[in-house]
């Protein structure tokens, strides 16, 4: 008896939260864009007419047309194909980066919580120093290091 009321209460709370999210236009637009992006990354091979690396030297720097929806680049490659196929790569990289960040953060948090004391203080000061550096400076340093 108690389990059914508990599960019904959870369903009611979930339904209320979803109703609040559906009223938020920014959430609906953002979720739609994210859903479309995920759809494109999953079905990218079926959505393109040209291989992303095939060069058409007769169509270099072509503007958007019925044949090339986003046009072509300076080597005659279809930009639409490259964008859609690139969505899959971006999704994989973002998933790996998120999982790696969560793993490293959770591991450091567990170690700092277990050891406490000086290790925790030193780790927190290092993380505060990293947080104090603006992201744009880190990006510029990364670009300078890569070349």
pLDDT tens digit at each of 147 positions of the chain: 556 677 888 888 888 999 999 999 999 999 999 999 889 888 988 988 888 888 989 989 999 999 999 999 999 999 999 998 888 888 899 999 999 999 999 999 999 999 988 999 999 999 898 888 888 888 888 899 987
Q: What local confidence, expressed as pLDDT, does residue 2 receive? A: 58
What would the two tokens of residue 107 be?
């591991």
Q: How many domains does the chain have?
A: 2
Q: What local confidence, expressed as pLDDT, does residue 125 receive? A: 93
- 78: β partners: 72
43 and 64 assigned to the same domain: yes
Domain that holds residue 128: 116-147
Q: What local confidence, expressed as pLDDT, does residue 139 receive? A: 86
Q: What is the distance between the alpha carbons of residues 84 and 121, in angstroms, rounded to a whole number?
A: 46
The DSSP 8-state label assigned to residue 78 in this structure reads B
Name, in order, each residue with C-beta under 8 angstroms of 83's C-beta and a sequence gap of 6 or more.
Answer: 70
Q: What local confidence, expressed as pLDDT, does residue 106 receive? A: 96
Instruction: Classify residue 111: in a domain, yes or no.
Output: no
Q: What local confidence, expressed as pLDDT, does residue 4 receive? A: 66
Beta carbons of 56 and 74 less than 8 angstroms apart: no
97 and 126 assigned to the same domain: no
């Amino acid at each position: 008896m108690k389990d059914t009321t508990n599960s019904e209460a959870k369903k009611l709370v979930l339904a209320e939260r979803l109703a609040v999210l559906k009223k938020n236009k920014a959430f609906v637009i953002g979720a739609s864009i994210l859903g479309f992006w995920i759809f494109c990354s999953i079905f990218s091979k079926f959505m393109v007419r040209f291989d992303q690396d095939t060069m058409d030297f007769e169509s270099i720097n072509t503007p958007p047309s019925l044949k090339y929806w986003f046009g072509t680049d300076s080597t005659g490659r279809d930009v639409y194909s490259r964008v859609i196929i690139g969505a899959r790569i971006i999704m994989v990289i973002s998933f790996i980066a998120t999982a790696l960040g969560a793993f490293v953060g959770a591991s450091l948090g567990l170690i700092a919580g277990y050891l406490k004391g000086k290790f925790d203080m030193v780790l927190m000061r290092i993380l505060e120093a990293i947080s104090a550096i603006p992201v744009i400076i880190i990006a510029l340093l990364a670009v300078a290091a890569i070349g």
